[in-house]
Amino acid sequence: MEMGSIECRSLAGRAFGVRVLMDDYDQRAPSITFRDPWTWNLLPYNELPVGHTVDENGKALRVLLDEHPDTKHPFLCLRGTREYHEHPQHTGDEWMLYRGHKCLFDLLSLVWLTCIQQAYPHILFMPPASCQLRWEPQPLGQR
């Protein structure tokens, strides 16, 4: 029987930085943008980490979306971010309801949880000589 090997790229996700703008805080929620850590340019959507959260039923919900209607940039669509509270689909979920309970640490924890901690690599081997790496959400209790 002949053995073959398949070389896969590193399993590390792409490095990224996060800029948090807190202008007009606390009348407006903080704004989060994803940046290239070396140039500090905005990252395009196709270069962003996979941003998922997992609901109580184990269903993955994508929360890092491609284009905000106002900024035209990718955005983290979660409570506590300006992009969420100022999105037309969330007009009934006002920032004023949360501003006393959300802080900078909460936002950075959300980025960590949705874009790093719950991102789980799945390697798919496709004979005869290729493989594919997909980042998928993994509930925290299943690691």
The predicted-structure confidence for 59-69, as pLDDT tens digits, reads as follows: 778 888 999 99
| Number of domains into which the chain is organized | 1
pLDDT digits (tens, 9 = 90+) for 23-35: 998 899 999 999 9
Residue 10 lies in a domain: no
Tell me, what DSSP letter sits at residue 23? T
- Average pLDDT value for the chain: 80
**What is the residue range of 41's domain?**
17-142
Cα separation, 119 vs 114, whole angstroms: 7
Residue 3 lies in a domain: no
Q: Highest mean pLDDT: which of 7-16, 17-26, 132-141?
A: 17-26
Residue 5 lies in a domain: no
Residue 77 lies in a domain: yes
Is residue 83 within 8 A of residue 74, CB to CB? The reply is no
Kindly state the average pLDDT of the residues 33-61.
86
Is residue 48 within 8 A of residue 64, CB to CB? The reply is yes
pLDDT digits (tens, 9 = 90+) for 113-124: 888 776 666 666
**Helices and strands of the chain, counted as H and E runs:** 2, 8
pLDDT band with cut points at 50, 70 and 90 for residue 133: low
Beta-carbon contacts of 28 under 8 Å, excluding residues fewer than 6 positions away, are 82, 85, 86, 95
Residue 42 lies in a domain: yes
State the residue for tokens 């992009």: 83
Residue 11 lies in a domain: no
Is residue 74 within 8 A of residue 65, CB to CB? The reply is yes
- Could you count the other beta carbons within 10 Å of the beta carbon of residue 138? 18
Least confident of 9-13, 129-133, 138-142: 9-13
Residue 32 lies in a domain: yes
3-class DSSP state for residue 73?
coil
Enter the pTM of the model.
0.74
For residue 24, whether the previous peptide bond is cis, meaning omega lies within 30 degrees of 0, is no
Residue 12 lies in a domain: no
Least confident of 39-43, 95-99, 101-105: 101-105
